[in-house]
Amino acid sequence: MDYRDTPEEAAFRKEVHDFIDKEAPKNMARGEGFGGSGDAWKTWVKKLSERGWVAPAWPKEYGGAGMSVMEQFIFNWEMAEARAPRPGGIATGFAGPTLIVHGTEEQKKKHLPEIVEGDVVWCQGYSEPGSGSDLASLQTRAIRDGDDYVVNGQKIWTSGGHVAKWMILLARTDPEAPKHRGITYFIADMKAPGVTVRPLINLPGTHEFNEVFFEDVRIPKENIIGEENRGWYLAQTTLSFERSNIGGAVGARQGVEDLVKLARTDAASQLKANAAIRHELVDRMVEAGVATQMSLKIISIQAKEGVAPGHEASVAKLYGTELNQRIARTALKVFGLYGQLDSKTDGVANAALYGRYKYQYLRSIANTIEGGTSEIQRNITATRGLGLPRA
Kindly list the catalytic residues. Answer: 242
Contacts of 118 (CB under 8 A, 6+ apart): 35, 45, 46, 48, 49, 54, 87, 88
Sign, CA torsion 344/346/348/349: positive
Q: What is the DSSP letter of 6?
A: P
Render the burial of 172-188: b for 16+ CB within 10 Å, e for the rest.
Answer: bbeeeeebeebbbbbbb
Residue (of 161, 253, 160, 203) closest to 369 by Cα position: 203
Residue (of 171, 55, 58) closest to 116 by Cα position: 55
- Provide the total of helices (H) and of strands (E) in the chain, helices listed first: 12, 7
Amino acid making up residue 272: K
Strands (E), 107-206: 122-125, 141-145, 148-155, 166-172, 183-189, 195-201
Angle at which helices 276-305 and 69-81 pack, to 10 degrees? 160
What residues are paired with 220 via a beta bridge? 148
Instruction: Give CA separation, 109 vs 1, 30, 139, 191, 200, in Å.
Output: 41, 30, 31, 21, 34
